[in-house]
Structure 1
């Protein structure tokens, strides 16, 4: 399956009327295990990828480091669409970022509005939307239906806003208008806030959840009933596995 076909497949999976679960992997081994479990597409999280490399999240990796990880995952599951967390873009122009990401084999990406290379400042609404729009334009020029998952950290930085929910909606709407294909408001605090986001936004919404305990907005079944389009695990799958791994090896110490 060529990269354009994988991209279109991933985009179509967001619009089936059912909740798309994209397990978050970090290396070739975890990607292979999840693929064998029968999932139609995967996501790569920057946090677990960085942990697997002994580096820090929040762009403790370089773009080269991140793309090395992306390339290894995509190479392990060549027939599956893979989307990758590219943090805030690693201070890279949109056209270059898209070119290099596609070359690594990914057909979707997250881009957040916290700029780690500039002290963790939050991009202005229009600034972030413009970057999202430039990424979409570069993908369109390449003839690939790249799934641009625009992320906002409005809830992460809730203390900066009088109304974090309204801020998240404003930011996600601006990104939708600029060409994002999915919205990713991180750390949605509860089901009521998630419902407001789903009602306000035109396109798919991504929710982070723990595969054992669900999310602050509810279980997978709750999210499905609400009409959530996409679920990823962020760093939570890797963290959930740690106690199991310790319990498995501890009797042999």
Structure 2
């Protein structure tokens, strides 16, 4: 399937009724498992990648080149459309965002997100005008490609739970050309419903963070189109590893193995099909 066909397939998921879940593998192996389970599209995770490299998430700890190499491995691992967490575009200038979109398309990605977080502690978010200019540059690059741009408003992840400003930013990002809108960190269903009603593009929310874990049905009723899982699957895997290690060290037991995937099952997931 060509990249243009993959992008059309990805857009169709956003156009049909209801909501769909797009899980976030952190490497080729986890991508193969999620694809085999029946998910229809995948998205990369900056946190999952950083943790797999032994680094903290954010703070520029992972380069654009490392991010795209990881994304390319995930693209190659399955036949599913893959979107990417492209952080802040790996640079402050609008052209940095545009070049990141072009580079993402070159490795086979069908979409990706650009966020309005700077990565700087003393100025966590870009001011409104700069944030919009960056999305506009990314959108212009995406329009010249088969690529679906998501724009993220990061207020809630940076101690600024301002729903009005979040909506204002997402509305502006939509006008600038973003096809999907995303405000990670919302924890109240009524806020999610208000946001979805206030914008004219499909909305992504992330589950697996703080707050009550809403169901797919609840989120769909609130107007959500796409549900991602961020780094939560990677953290779940790391949690299982840590629990197993503590059990061995503290108790001298190996009961964790009873919950482990069998070697045969793992082998089956990793064997290419067709």
TM score, norm. by length of structure 1: 0.89
4+ aligned runs moved over 6 Å, structure 1: none
User: Match of 1:252?
Assistant: 254
Whether the 8 Å CA contact 2:156–2:186 is kept in 1: the answer is yes
Structure 2 residue aligned with 1:110, among 100, 113, 133? 113
Q: Distance in 2 between matches of 1:63 and 1:194?
A: 31
Distance 1:122 1:84, change over 3 A: same
Alpha-carbon shift at residue 49 of structure 1 (Å):
1.1
User: Match of 1:172?
Assistant: 170
Larger radius of gyration: 2
Structure 1 residue aligned with 2:195, among 194, 197, 213? 197
CA RMSD across the alignment = 2.2
User: Match of 2:44?
Assistant: 44
Q: May I ask how many residue pairs the two structures share in their alignment?
A: 245
Q: Distance in 1 between matches of 2:16 and 2:28?
A: 28
Distance 1:120 1:83, change over 3 A: farther
2:156 corresponds to 1:136:
no
Whether the 8 Å CA contact 1:152–1:168 is kept in 2: the answer is yes
- Which residues of structure 1 form unaligned runs of 5+? none
Cα deviation, 1:4-33, whole Å, max 9, x if unaligned, reads 111121111111112121001110000000
Cα deviation, 1:170-222, whole Å, max 9, x if unaligned, reads 00000000011111111113011111101101111111112xx9954722221
2:69 corresponds to 1:68:
yes
Q: Distance in 2 between matches of 1:222 and 1:36?
A: 26
User: Match of 2:228?
Assistant: 232
Q: Distance in 1 between matches of 2:2 and 2:217?
A: 33
SS state at 1:39 partner: coil
Cα deviation, 1:114-171, whole Å, max 9, x if unaligned, reads 11268653112221122112112112223x1x22111111122344xxx700010000
Matches within 5 A, 1:86-105: 86-91=86-91, 93-105=96-108
SS state at 1:93 partner: helix
Q: Distance in 2 between matches of 1:120 and 1:25?
A: 30
Whether the 8 Å CA contact 2:6–2:110 is kept in 1: the answer is yes
Whether the 8 Å CA contact 2:116–2:126 is kept in 1: the answer is yes
SS state at 2:149 partner: strand
Cα deviation, 1:45-103, whole Å, max 9, x if unaligned, reads 111111112223212111111111111111111x2100000110111623321221111
Matches within 5 A, 1:124-163: 124-142=127-145, 144=146, 146-159=147-160
Q: Distance in 2 between matches of 1:118 and 1:105?
A: 33
Distance 1:118 1:226, change over 3 A: closer
Structure 2 residue aligned with 1:121, among 99, 112, 124? 124
Q: Distance in 2 between matches of 1:247 and 1:44?
A: 25
SS state at 1:241 partner: helix
Whether the 8 Å CA contact 2:184–2:206 is kept in 1: the answer is yes
Q: Distance in 2 between matches of 1:157 and 1:243?
A: 25
Matches within 5 A, 1:204-219: 204-210=202-208, 216=212, 218-219=214-215
